Amino acid sequence: MQLYGIEITSRLLLGTAQYPSPSILRDAITASGTEIITVSLRRETVDGSGAGFWAGLRALNMHILPNTAGCYCVQEAVTTAHMAREVFGTDWIKLEVIGHADTLQPDVFALVEAARVLCGDGFKVFPYTTDDLVVGEKLIEAGCEVLMPWGAPIGSGQGLRTPDALRSMRAHFPDIPLIVDAGIGRPSDAAHAMELGMDAVLLNTAVAKAGEPAKMAHAMALAIEAGRAGFAADLMEPRDMAVPSTPIMGLAKLA
């Protein structure tokens, strides 16, 4: 998988929020096999109390994908992205511009405008978006080379609410990396996303809030690998009726 010219082997991107402790977070990251972890700028406070958290993540030698979580307008998202670039030393940014407080659905109008500004400022933007094809086209026109459609509301664990729309995105954007972001609650959800042809899955809460985060991270990694292998093998389509797997010829005849 190529993301802005960088080859990535693991198709699991892992968030770093809500874990019971830094050691549990590190264990989960290791068990997942991920190469990309997302980090909120809000963990890096002005008084420097987040320094230990950041130092611990930096020691893991991962690709860092800062995000603009909690931003509700263009200017707020752009300012946060610039601050994140200074703090984390990367021009990668997961762009979130929230439009609805209850569902955390993206404000796609502000998202496209913020993406246009940040791409113009040299950022490599990973936009958290809906599964709308027109919005996807506008984000690509703005300079994005990756799309991150939601599976369901952030932290809901509902799985993929609109699999047909995600399948349409895969057909409409055959050469654009598609990463399902948000809503994944179970390994089967992650496998489902990959069976639809998605390139990767980004998740956080399902692992962080699991009884054993490291085991859940490993389970998600296995599910993603299995789903991707199934898609590559060309999955059979569902049928309306039974089709016998044993040929009729050669059956015994009763006298």
Please confirm, yes or no, whether 138 is among the known catalytic residues. Answer: no
CA distance 32 to 34: 5
| Residue 99 known to bind ligand | no
**Does the annotation place 211 within a ligand binding site?**
no
Q: Please indicate if the annotation marks 182 as binding a ligand.
A: yes
Residues in CB range of 42: below 8 A, 6 or more apart: 69, 70
Q: Is 183 annotated as a binding residue?
A: yes
> Which positions are annotated as active-site residues?
94
Binding site: which residues? 155, 182-183, 204-205
Binding site for 1-deoxy-D-xylulose 5-phosphate: which residues? 155, 182-183, 204-205
